[in-house]
Amino acid sequence: MFTSPFPDIEIPATSIYDDLFGDLTAEDAGRVALIDPATGAETTYGALKAQVDAFAGALAARGVGLDTVLGLLCPNVPAFATVFHGILRAGATVTTINSLYTPGEIQKQLTDAGATWLITVSPLLPQAKAAAEAVGIADDHLIVLDGAEGHPNLRGLLTEGSPAPDVTFDPATHVAVLPYSSGTTGIPKGVMLSHRNLVANVAQCRVNIDLRSSDRVLAVLPFFHIYGMTVLLNLALKQRASLVTMPKFDLVQFLENIQNFRCTYLYIAPPIAVALAKHPIVDQYDISTVHTVFSGAAPLDGETAELAGRRLNTRMMQGYGMSELSPVSHAMPFQRDDIPVSSVGVMLPNTLNKLIDTETGEEITELGEDGQTRPGELWVKGPNVMLGYLGKPEATAETLDDDGFLHTGDIAIYHEGGYFSIVERVKELIKYHGYQIAPAELEALLLSHPKVMDAAVIGVLDDEKEEIPKAFIVARPDSGLTEDEVKDFVTANVAPYKKVRRVEFVEAIPKSTSGKILRKDLRAREAAARV
């Protein structure tokens, strides 16, 4: 069993609202919490807290309480913070919904979560209204933040003067948020995270992640995703930093916002790292204020990370987590510079880890001559582990064992320096003639090719029904990259059984909003091509 290099810390037995806003000083109240790049408008911490209280009061006046679930379908705008924490302040539960969802997908999540309210913005109202009608949510329970006829709006709710309610609940057991898994490897499930889960993960992250009140954070990763919810929104608020909100990613706008608002800290997913490392337009902007780039949500290969770090002259960090872990369990500690950026860093405080051999079920504890363990499935235990999956006891039992260890489904290696590397998802490994091939390893290699802009690898069946690696490649424009070049490059750098045996050039690699490669979409594309 592996332990954190950090001593255990005290986890406050309180709500996330009290943890973030309960000790707000007069000085902090005057700090800027949120900046809207579209208008330049700034919201101070004092104003944000007042808005959160007012929104909670408006909800309570309408009967919202401990047993209420509200859906939140909203991009990254300052109002998200008000509404999200207003719901939690009222003692209710919020299920955050992907802004790209179709009406049918929104309907499924609302139904599964048992939501009786839905909050959105006018650009998303058509799909929100269709889903609300399908599940029986009336117009007076469909809040349109920026206003729409026949629906409550944020301005009206904040100015009605209803006092914030007095609510009492157990932070360790009361469900605060219900994010849904991305569905890249299965049917999306509601992840029950308590107030204690959220409070704990913020406290744990503060030990490893060097975010300060003087920082300006560019918030482009969606708040509706657990990564953006905890590491951007909640951690930044706890540290009294300033958040510059971006409703969606656009590289030019991303760079303009860094330049115009002098952002210092970036939280990104690997696709953004690839752009920062390789896209020529980056050189046209002054982004010298950035001192740290932290990547998460999916594995980032070391070479791309180092290339981006050198180009931006900045510190590159990486971490690991999942929705079921609130989400962070590992991060590169800012106190050390001896850990390679290709790793996900060390365990956060108050956690225990195991590595389990997927073939034998035995616990892996010994280091080899190379100073690392053999690969095994990572299991995590700590105060950030979810309560379970909503309404799915069997799925919960499969993932969360009786000893409190969460079985992540990710294959990891432990290194003698105390840090971990993620090799691949258990379900994503390609098996060729009995050998295991990690797509992420091949993708990292392909991204190091100067003519490759992006890449993804999946297992496909050859004519003999043997699983082989196939690469999907986004080539640099006008590079003339050929299939043989790709194959020869990989063959020259890997063991024979790992070589790419098929190549397809595509315009873009399908990815989730959190940056994960949607291999299921590539498999569907492959299946359609074979029909």
Q: Tell me the per-residue pLDDT of 25-53, one tens digit each, with 9 for 90 and over.
A: 999 999 999 999 999 999 999 999 999 99
> Does residue 330 lie within any of the structural domains?
yes
- Residue ending a domain, among 426, 445, 470, is 426
Residue 429 has pLDDT above 80, yes or no: no
**How far apart (Å, rounded) are the C-alpha atoms in residues 89 and 15?**
8
Residue 317 located in a structural domain: yes
Q: Is 39 exposed, middle or buried (0-12, 13-18, 19+ CB in 10 A)?
A: exposed
390 and 316 part of one domain: yes
CB-based contact 354:1 (threshold 8 Å): yes
Map residue 300 onto helix, strand or coil. Answer: coil
Classify residue 21: in a domain, yes or no.
no
CA distance 192 to 282: 40
Is 185's pLDDT higher than 70?
no
Element (H, E) at 414: strand 406-414
Element (DSSP H or E) covering residue 408: strand 406-414
Strand partners, 244: 35, 218
The answer to whether 296 touches 231, Cβ cutoff 8 Å, is yes
Is 491 strand, coil or helix?
Answer: helix
Between 485 and 433, the more confident residue is: 485
Bridge partner residues of 475 (DSSP): 452
For the segment 113-170, what is each residue's pLDDT rounded down to a tens digit? Answer: 999 999 999 999 999 999 999 999 999 999 999 999 999 999 999 999 999 999 999 9
**What is the chain's Cα-based Rg?**
23
- Which is more confidently placed, 525 or 255? 255
Which whole number is the average pLDDT over 266-284? 91
Residue 72: inside a domain, yes or no? yes
Residue 393, number of CB atoms within 10 A of its CB: 9
Pairing label, strands 216-219, 406-414: unpaired
Given pLDDT bands bounded at 50, 70 and 90, which one contains residue 435?
A: low
Domain shared by 113 and 201, yes or no: no
Interstrand relation of 242-245 and 216-219 (parallel, antiparallel or unpaired):
parallel
Is 176 domain-assigned?
no
Residue 136 neighbours by CB under 8 Å, 6+ apart: none
The pLDDT tens digits for 341-393 are: 999 999 999 999 999 998 899 999 999 999 999 999 999 999 999 999 999 99
Asked which of 168, 203, 234 is the last residue of a domain, the reply is: 168
* 414 plus 484 within the same structural domain: no
pLDDT category at 436 given cuts 50, 70, 90 is low
Q: What does the alpha-carbon distance between residue 496 and residue 312 come to, in Å, rounded to a whole number?
A: 36
Using the predicted structure, report yes or no on whether residue 184 has a pLDDT greater than 80. no
**405, 380 Cβ separation under 8 angstroms:** yes
Residue 183 has pLDDT above 60, yes or no: no
User: Would you say the C-alpha torsion 163, 153, 246, 342 has a positive or negative sign?
Assistant: positive
Angle (CA) 251-253-255 rounded to 5° is 70
Is the link from the previous residue into 327 a cis peptide, with omega within 30 of 0? yes
Beta strands 388-389; 346-347: pairing state: unpaired
The Cα–Cα gap between 415 and 423 comes to 13
In the predicted structure, residue 513 carries a pLDDT above the cut 80: no
Q: How many domains does the chain have?
A: 3
User: Is residue 408 domain-shared with residue 457, that is, in the same domain?
Assistant: no
- The tokens for 318 are 């990486």
Out of 411, 426, 441, a domain closes at 426
Indicate whether 203 and 295 sit together in one domain.
yes
Considering the domain architecture, whether residues 399 and 251 belong to the same structural domain is answered as yes
Distances in Å between the alpha carbon of 360 and those of 68, 365, 367, 376? 44, 14, 18, 10
Q: Could you tell me if 419 and 490 lie in one domain?
A: no
For residue 128, give the amino acid letter.
Answer: A
pLDDT band at 464; cut points 50, 70, 90: low
Q: The whole model's pTM is what? A: 0.85
DSSP labels for 333-366? -TT-S-S-TTS-BEEPTT-EEEEE-TTT-PBP--
Nearest CA to 212 out of 246, 242, 192, 182 is that of 242
| Burial (CB count <10 Å: 0-12, 13-18, 19+), residue 284 | exposed
The type of residue at 147 is G
* pLDDT over 80 (residue 431): no
Read off the pLDDT of residues 83-119 as tens digits, 9 standing for 90 and up: 999 999 999 999 999 888 889 889 989 999 999 999 9
Tokens of 214: 């003087």
pLDDT at site 101: 84
Domain check: are 455 and 373 in the same one?
no
- Mean pLDDT for the chain? 93
Report the alpha-carbon distance of residue 453 to residue 433 in Å, rounded. Answer: 30
Supply the CATH number for residue 504's domain.
3.30.300.30
Does residue 508 belong to any structural domain of this protein? yes
Q: What is the 3-state secondary structure (H, E, C) of 431-459?
A: EECCEEECHHHHHHHHHCCCCEEEEEEEE
Q: Domain with 337 in it: what CATH number?
A: 3.40.50.12780
Question: Within this chain, do residues 131 and 240 fall inside the same structural domain, yes or no?
Answer: no
C-alpha–C-alpha distance, residues 148 and 133, integer Å: 16
Same-domain status, 72 and 2: no
Q: Supply angle C-alpha 409, 221, 188, rounded to 5.
A: 40
In a domain, 185, yes or no: no
Mean pLDDT of 401-424: 94
* Tokens linked to 62: 């309408």
280 occurs within a structural domain: yes
Residue 491 structural domain: 429-530
498 shares a domain with 409: no
Any residues with CB less than 8 A from the CB of 231 and at least 6 apart, and which?
Answer: 205, 209, 267, 294, 296, 319, 327, 328
Q: Say if CB 457 and CB 442 are below 8 A apart.
A: yes
Give the C-alpha separation, 112 to 122, whole Å: 24
Do residue 416 and residue 438 come from a single domain? Answer: no
- Label each residue of 253-278 as H, E or C: HHHHHHHHHCCCEEEECHHHHHHHHH
Q: Which secondary-structure segment (H or E) carries 192?
A: strand 191-194
Residue 256: exposure state from Cβ atoms within 10 A (0-12, 13-18, ≥19):
middle
Encode 107-134: b = buried (16+ Cβ within 10 Å), e = exposed.
Answer: bbbbebbbbbbbbbbeebbebbbebbee
